[in-house]
Amino acid sequence: MITVEVNYVKLELPERATLRDAILASNAPYKEGNSIGILKKSDTKQEENVTEYQIITTAGEFTIELFATDSPSKKRWIEKSNEYRDIPLRWSSRDAVAFGPFLSDIAPKREAGTYKEYEVLFAAGGGDPRNTHIIISKDRHSAEYGDPQEGAFGKVVSGKRVLDNLGKKDSIIEIKPVISWKQTGEHLLTTDLATPLENEEKVFTYLDVVMSPESPLGAEHFFALIRNGSFKVDMVSSSFISDHILHGELPAYENYEPRTRGTVFLRTVGYGAGKAFISTDDRTASILHSVIGHVDQGMELVKMAETGHKLLVRTTPPQIMLHGKSFPEAEEEMALYGVKLIREGDTNDEALIVAQDPDATIEILQEGTVRATGVDDSKIVSIELYDDDAPITLDFFRHAIGLQFRPVGVLPLIMMYENTYIFKAEKPAEKYKEILPENTPKTKVAAGEIGVTNQAAKRAGMVGVKTKEDDLFGPTGEKFISTNIIGRILDMEKLQHFKEGDKIYVIERNRE
């Protein structure tokens, strides 16, 4: 048998076991096509410049990183951390947790200090070194703990949720230095599940990103970016990896915060606006970049990332997206969050939801209530879009009608004549999105095909569909050269129920 670790959980497997065997045995999160990181066994001995330590508790594990500056507390931690075993949780509050007591040689100050999120420090209650504790801050706050003059010596960089799960009976079991994969230099990033595993290798299949409560709109941008579950690595630098799938979409600036390692942030203005980044090194706060979350698990996978690979992402909390669901389905889902759902519009059980207020997941959870608007199924049209044939036009189309961020889009019907329906999106995306000629008809347009007027004509951005085949004009009434075919309506019979001025709700059925 061999021992391997999958997402920090150890298990035993038969010799010659593969990556697929490990995933099945551990029930690890995995999606086909996403890359998996394997950290190879290394004979490298512990080095003096180790900066990360794994704290193993009865409630789970978390990792801290020591600050770069030298201090007596940091030196004490490096020298004594291997002795901090079986230390109980002394107390836990909204602001911090404390493990102890134990004897130390610290000289505490007798005044209040200000502490940042997830900082780690020593403190002597009552100024008595025999009453020393390890304090871990959970939120920014001020308190008098009896810590040394130099304050904190490190910060929690992964496993932060464990701090909220700690109870009175929990304790520190062991503290171990972490040798980073960069020190060993041996790792593999692969999509091949037939890859054989060796004893003591570590496997990482996904990232867990904790979304910042300060960035509700930025979180929705990130949810749209990973709507298929993956962060696509379009660029790798010495300090970040980035996904450019929403390049050009302008997210709101919400959160000015240092971009420490594991920080997820968005470019909000200028060149590169809309791109999402994950820090692999510490950087200062920026007025161009809004912080939206932090990687709580899987930073090893981020560090191994290579351009062109896709990384599986889970978020805390997951996105609340009620669009396209029935009211009973939505109410059952919201009950799990303790959120009250208020029905609006068509309130029948058979109606489908096309809007939610608040729209952002974080705001829904903060308010504890969401208003959902339902419409009859007859007002919802299913479409299939041709991504391979018209990618540029579909970028415009999804952006204009809202499909870039939601599974239900809106198309106002502005004109009907003979066998033609003409739509105009509420969002004037044609002013800043290209609609170059692509996938233009050659001999005829089939009934039900969706056309968009391209930039070869004055009415660029108009959307149309015909109920009958046409060999002269496109779905918007333009010449073939001015018409881009982007997809087709799957239930054409529903169009007969609409009149000019109505809003047609659109669901894309063939997208993951």
- Which token pair is 60? 């789970």
Q: What is the pLDDT of residue 42?
A: 58
Provide the strand spans (E) within 358-498: 369-375, 380-385, 408-417, 420-423, 449-453, 463-466, 483-489
Q: What is the pLDDT of residue 45?
A: 47
Q: Quick one: 148 exposed, middle or buried, by C-beta within 10 A (0-12, 13-18, 19+)?
A: buried
- Its CATH architecture, for the domain 379-508, is Beta Barrel (2.40)
Start and end residues for every CATH 2.40.100.10 domain found in the chain: 53-178, 207-316, 379-508
Distance from C-alpha of 458 to C-alpha of 427, rounded to nearest angstrom: 17
Distance from C-alpha of 53 to C-alpha of 76, rounded to nearest angstrom: 14
Q: Quick one: 90 exposed, middle or buried, by C-beta within 10 A (0-12, 13-18, 19+)?
A: middle
Going across the sheet that includes 187-190, the strands are: 9-13, 2-6, 202-204, 36-39, 187-190
Bond before 108 cis per omega within 30 degrees = no
Q: What is the pLDDT along the chain (512 residues), one digit of tens a residue?
A: 899 999 988 999 999 999 999 999 999 999 999 999 998 865 544 445 678 899 999 998 899 999 988 899 999 999 999 899 999 999 999 999 999 999 998 888 888 889 998 999 999 988 888 899 999 999 899 998 988 888 899 999 888 889 988 998 999 999 988 765 554 457 899 999 999 999 989 999 999 999 999 999 999 999 999 999 999 999 999 899 999 999 888 899 999 998 988 999 999 998 899 999 999 988 889 999 999 999 999 999 999 999 999 999 999 999 999 999 999 999 999 999 999 999 999 999 999 999 999 999 999 999 999 999 999 999 999 999 999 999 999 999 999 999 989 999 999 999 999 899 999 998 888 887 889 999 999 999 999 999 999 999 999 999 999 999 999 999 999 999 999 999 999 999 999 889 999 999 999 986 55
Superfamily (CATH H level) for 207-316: Cyclophilin-like (2.40.100.10)
Q: Quick one: 167 exposed, middle or buried, by C-beta within 10 A (0-12, 13-18, 19+)?
A: exposed
Distance from C-alpha of 412 to C-alpha of 37, rounded to nearest angstrom: 47
Distance from C-alpha of 408 to C-alpha of 508, rounded to nearest angstrom: 7
Rounded to whole angstroms, what are the CA distances from 98 to 73, 102, 135, 137, 177? 16, 12, 5, 9, 20
Q: How many residues does the chain have?
A: 512
53-178 CATH choice from 3.40.50.2300, 2.40.100.10, 3.90.550.10, 3.30.750.24 = 2.40.100.10
Q: What is the DSSP string of 354-366?
A: EEEES-SHHHHHH
- Which token pair is 426? 């509420």
- Angle ∠(369,208,40) on CA atoms, nearest 5: 170
pTM: 0.79
Distance from C-alpha of 6 to C-alpha of 4, rounded to nearest angstrom: 7
